[in-house]
Amino acid sequence: MAGTLYLIPVPMGGDTLSNILPADVIDIAKQLTHFVVENAKTTRAHLKMLGTPHELRSLWMQELSEHTKDHEVSALLKPLLEGHDVGLMSEAGCPGVADPGARLVQLAHQRGIKVAPLVGPSSLLLALMGSGANGQKFRFNGYLPSDTAGRLQALRQLEASSAKENQAEIFIETPYRNLALFQALRDGLKGSTRLTVACDMTLPEQEILTLEAAQWKKRAEPDINKRPTVFIIQA
């Protein structure tokens, strides 16, 4: 009988509190000895923090990133097919959401392997919840183009779609490019379009602020450089 692929959320900061990860999620993670992860070093630190009773060096741990080739992803199913339960852990937040782990989940379904997503923090949903944008209809767009012209075109398309569909448009950026994206949003959106900047979700320094683009122009730039940030627009 094949094992179960557990999708294990991880804290988005340096602490594992009961209001971040439920006790049963921590217990499952502590029991596992096989893992597919985005970064082995980070995962070992998470598992140590969770209190795994296993020697970290003894764990079966393979990395899955955006650069992993298709045949290499398929090979990661081997312990599952041999009957071992496997934990899938991303760098931060929920596996499979804005995360290369979705490729392994898809293959697991194709091979009839049970997939069990576990409860934990999603920065995208937390940002949406705290934004005041339309939680009945929304779309996650991943990363926008990094070049100035492509980014501006994408923003105009998203703003038009938001206005037409009454839809919240959610996206993220590599933290060191946060300010460049914010400046493009502030200067490129219509004045009445609402822009949410949600930073360091679940951490003590968490900040969520929603203002119209015209209001953002009257304020100092937010302190979001190199801090994980979610952006939401609602036209």
- Has this prediction a pTM greater than 0.75? yes
- The Cα–Cα gap between 210 and 216 comes to 9
Q: What domains, with CATH codes, occur in the chain?
A: 4-117 (3.40.1010.10), 123-234 (3.30.950.10)
From first to last of its 235 residues, what are the pLDDT tens digits of the chain?
899 999 999 887 766 566 688 899 999 999 999 999 999 999 998 899 889 999 999 999 999 998 999 899 999 999 999 999 999 998 878 999 888 999 999 999 999 999 999 998 899 999 999 999 999 999 999 999 989 999 999 999 999 999 999 999 999 999 999 999 999 999 999 999 999 999 999 888 999 999 999 999 999 999 999 999 999 999 9
For residue 183, list its beta bridge partners. Answer: none
What is the b/e burial string over 194-204, where b = at least 16 CB atoms within 10 angstroms of the residue's CB?
Answer: bbbbbbbbbbe
For residue 207, list its beta bridge partners. Answer: 199
DSSP state of 51: T
What is the b/e burial string over 151-173, where b = at least 16 CB atoms within 10 angstroms of the residue's CB?
Answer: beebbeebbeebeeeebbbbbbb
